[in-house]
Amino acid sequence: MKKSNKIAAAAAAGALLLTGGLTAAANAVPAPVPAAVPAVDVQPSPETVVAQNRISVGASADAVKAALAKCQADKLPFVTVALVDRFGTVQALLRGDNAAEHTIEAAQQKAYTAAAFGTPTSELAKRINGNGPSIADLPGTLFLAGGVPVKVNGVSVAGIGVGGAPDGALDEACATAGAESIAAAAAGTAK
């Protein structure tokens, strides 16, 4: 290596070391702490706060188990069962033995569709006419039989969906069994 190259390399190394040191020093200075924004405590009233019902974690778990048990009794172990709230957030999901990956999304979308519209997906599927845009084009929905709503005082609060059976009516029978388990548990606690 020539002497001029050695000098240039040494100068570059020195500059890098100096830059690194300056950066470390600059980062060592604590940043100013922003002033805390006070929380606003809103008092609940019908004009400002909406109360909503949700299915409990225990009832959600029992419902997906009941739906899967129905499918297994019908020799359909390859399904997935999902229970979602009315916004589509998964509350419980149970994937059966040998259930393909696509059944997860199908179960979730059927559950959400039933919850959002408050109607079984088998009924909603009848409304699709194939002539141009329709409700079937809404993202995250699936208008195939297999989703049933769960209602509290007539208002849809959740949906349970099953995907993977060779016929949507079979999916729906399992989903209905899951929804009925919630109704049975609620009736048992009301006594």
Collapsing DSSP to helix, strand or coil, 91 comes out as strand
Nearest to 115 by CA among 37, 52, 29, 49: 52
Confidence band for 45, pLDDT divided at 50, 70 and 90? confident
- The CATH classification of domain 57-190, taken from the options 2.40.50.90, 2.40.100.20, 3.40.50.720, 3.30.450.150: 3.30.450.150
> In the predicted model, what is the mean pLDDT of the chain?
86
What is the arithmetic mean of pLDDT over 84-100?
96
Confidence band for 106, pLDDT divided at 50, 70 and 90? very high
pLDDT at 22: 47
- Above 50 in pLDDT, residue 38? yes
pLDDT per residue as tens digits for the range 139-179: 999 999 999 999 999 999 999 999 999 999 999 999 999 99
Tell me phi and psi for residue 110, to 5 degrees.
Answer: -65, -45
Q: Strand runs (DSSP E) across the chain, as ranges?
A: 80-85, 90-95, 147-152, 155-163
Q: Where are the domains of the chain?
A: 57-190
